[in-house]
Amino acid sequence: MDLYSIMVLSAITISSSLILLLLLIGNKKKKEMNSMVPAVPGLPLIGNLLQLKAKKPHQTFAKWAETYGPIFSVKLGSSTMVVINSTELAKEAMVTRFSSISTRRPSNALTLLTSQKSIIAMADYGEYHKMAKRYILSAVLGAAAQKRNRGHRDILTENIVNFLYADIAGDSQSAVNLRKHFKNELFRLALMQALGKDIESIFVEELGVTMSKEEIFQVLVVDPMMGAIEVDWRDFFPYMRWVPNRSMEMKIHSMATRKRAITKALIMEQKKRIARGEKINCYLDYLVSEESTLTEEQLIALVWESIIETSDTTLVTSEWAMYELAKNPKFQDRLYQEILEVCGSEKIREEHLQQMPYLNAVFHETLRFHSPVPIIPPRYIHEDTQLGGYNVPAGTEITINLYACNMDKKDWDEPGVWNPERFLSSKYDQMDMYKTMAFGGGKRVCAGSLQAYLISCVAVGRFIQEFQWRLKEGELENVDTVQLTTHKLHPMQAYITPRESCVRK
């Protein structure tokens, strides 16, 4: 073979090799692109922030899922967030991939309000989280603790019923405000379980004022709930946290300072009782016995968490359940018939719940249709992982849109309609607490699910047992909610009529 032929052959061989290499690189890049989570188009620098300015992100995410599929990513300033909108993928994230995404990265406001993630709901999954969750289950929320606290819950329901009767005693034609009474009684229960005593007022030394019970509720429950959903633009641009945001900083710092001062004052007052040898079966007494394992900040944070968790979420579910039953006489009548069949002339009790599939269905359908937390707070992916067949790199945030999961037409027939009878199907286990994922799942499942179930079901059942409910005129359209939550913006207004077979003594 002459030199020319060898050079030509070499050139062809090299060219072929380069083409093959380029094809391999192209295929690899194409494969990598195909394995990336679909992204919702946004604007340079700010990403999708303007598209989410309506403050109903769960609804916006659900609409995007129709176009981009059950998993997609959005850019929130400099951060990337993966949004999951299907039950199947949510379970994969919460259970199968839990080890890769068990860390929380809350907003600046939440970090401050939760004392640097010292509460169970925000703590990273680790030794502290496991210890604190064990404490609250042992003292307040576990099955054994719930049996010990049974008397407090019975009083709650009885007091609300008595207040409702008092409301219509002078004017049977006036509408009642169920939230007012339910809120007050839940707060009383929260204080009893946390501190061992109901509190009418407390002198707060750090603030130099005496706070009434209503003021304590405002500072410990209402203000932090509103503060938690405050938006600080610096959360979306971490590299610009050095830029002051004075009004936001002062507002959240004031909330956190007042919350801490009042909680500490409540704790110190009960520590005087404990020092006198007066012990009560409550959360604080339990934590004090384990105080060597906690810092002062952690103790204050955990006591506050037990108060706010008891005082809010259960109210949201119970009020929406009563709204739907008052709106739908057919469902209300069917529930009443079940109560008559199971309870007869007895007041409904917790022991009756396992025999009441329809009441259970009302509870779970309300959780599905009015998820108390429509979006699970974001978690931080701390190692490369996969979700739904897509590669998700470390450093990405992930959130689960429960609203979209519970409105998915693939999983639910007519998801936009409140219909408890869907849960009477044989495919659902009556006592399964996690049909709608309202209480989360996996190792971070909500510790308060049993208490929420017991309070809400007995209360709703008793309200229907005692009264016939009808929405006030104009209430049908009154379904606005508070910003990022599903908390009803305005209290439900309804007319109630005592039933002839009511069991009140």
pLDDT attached to residue 30: 43
Residue 79 has phi, psi (to 5 degrees) of: -100, 145
pLDDT attached to residue 141: 96
pLDDT attached to residue 475: 84
pLDDT attached to residue 122: 92
| b (16+ CB within 10 A) / e for 232-269 | eebbbeeeeeeeeeeebeebbeebbebbbbbbbbbbee
DSSP 3-state of 386: strand
282 marked as part of a ligand binding site = no
pLDDT attached to residue 13: 54
Q: Output the pTM of the full model.
A: 0.90
Q: How many CB atoms lie within 10 A of CB 362?
A: 29
Q: For the chain, report the end-to-end CA distance as a whole number of angstroms.
A: 114
Residue type, 88: E
Q: What is the DSSP letter of 361?
A: H
pLDDT tens, position by position, for the chain (505 residues)?
554 444 444 545 555 555 555 444 544 444 444 589 999 999 999 999 999 887 789 999 999 999 999 999 999 999 999 999 999 999 999 888 888 888 888 888 989 999 999 999 999 999 999 999 999 999 999 999 999 999 999 999 999 999 999 999 988 889 999 999 999 999 999 999 999 999 999 999 999 999 999 999 999 999 998 888 887 888 888 878 788 888 888 999 999 999 999 999 999 999 999 999 998 999 999 999 998 899 999 999 999 999 999 887 899 999 999 999 999 999 999 999 999 999 999 999 999 999 999 999 999 999 999 998 899 888 889 899 999 999 999 989 999 999 999 999 999 999 999 999 999 987 777 666 667 888 888 888 899 999 999 999 999 999 999 999 999 998 887 788 875 668 888 999 999 999 986 666 5
From 152, 143, 217, select the one nearest 189 (Cα to Cα).
Answer: 152
Q: How many CB atoms lie within 10 A of CB 4?
A: 8
Q: CA torsion, points 447, 452, 454, 455, in degrees to nearest 10?
A: 140
From 145, 450, 132, 433, select the one nearest 299 (Cα to Cα).
Answer: 132
> Tokens at residue 24, please?
């391999």
